[in-house]
Structures are given as C-alpha cells and as structure tokens.
Amino acid sequence: MKNRMEQGNIIKTGKGKATMLKNGIILVETDDNLVLEVEDAKEFTSAVEKLAKGNKCLLITNPGKNTTAGPEVRKYAASEEANRHIRARAIITQSFAQELMANFFLRFNAQIIPTKLFHHREKAIKWLLGLSDKKPQVSLQKSKK
C-alpha cells in the first residue's frame, strides 16, 4: 500500500490515519475534502487489521469534513472482507450531508456487524465499550420436547 507510515499505535495512509486508542478502540480518521475510492478503503482495512493484530476490534470511523464515499466504497465497507477484524463500528458524522450518506449506508448495505451513528466521539466510545462488556449472543434453537 502506498504512502503508509507506521509509528507505534498510528498507521498513516494516503488519505488519513488509523490509531489504536488507549481503551483498545481503533479510530480511523480520513482527511478533509475527499471522495474516497475502494483502494483507499482497502488501505484503511489493512491498517485496522495490522493494529488489531488479527483480532476482532471495536472501530470508530470519523470521516473528515466534506469527505464522501461512492456506492462501491459503501458496498466494500459492508463486506465480509472489510469487516473480518471488526466486532462493531461507530460512525461519527460531522454534517447533515455525512449523516444522510451514513444513514443510506446503513439502510441499503446489509450490516454484518453492529453499526451505529453518532455526533460525538464520547458517546460512540461509551456504546462500543458497552458492547465489549456483553457476552456474545448464542443462537437459541427450539428444543424438541
């Protein structure tokens, strides 16, 4: 991947950075004024995978101001490949336009992990950490009696 620079718990990509926070959550931040392409999303996926060290992680996505992503990027972001190392995702929106796009993403791309929108990072962190306290849900089957 081009333009990748690693510094401890931060991996810089061509369009932003991924940071392992002290609470174990990975924060992905994109630069401002971008139209993200699938290759950019794959670069962020690779950075998250490296920071998570192959484990499932909690993720906050914080797009930069005026940053958007087309339908192919949204499709990729909902895919098994993009989410293989993510347990749950919080998306922080900074504008009405980003909120509309994020809602569109949630409604029209089947989510394979818990995903929720927030306006504030603190609320996103609280939600994600609350999920980590819960035990994995077990699929219950009807008993044959």
Which sequence spans correspond to the domains of the chain? 5-133
Q: Calculate the CA 144 to chain-centre distance.
A: 40
Q: Does 3.10.20.30 match the CATH number of domain 5-133?
A: no
pTM reported for the whole predicted model: 0.83
Locate 91 and state its tokens: 């998306």
Q: What is the strand order of the sheet 5-7 is part of?
A: 5-7, 10-13, 16-20, 26-30, 57-62, 86-92, 115-118
Please give the mean pLDDT across all residues of the chain: 86
Instruction: Give 44-71 pLDDT, tens digit per residue.
Output: 999 999 999 989 999 999 999 999 888 8
Calculated CA dihedral for residues 102, 106, 110, 114, nearest 10 degrees: 100
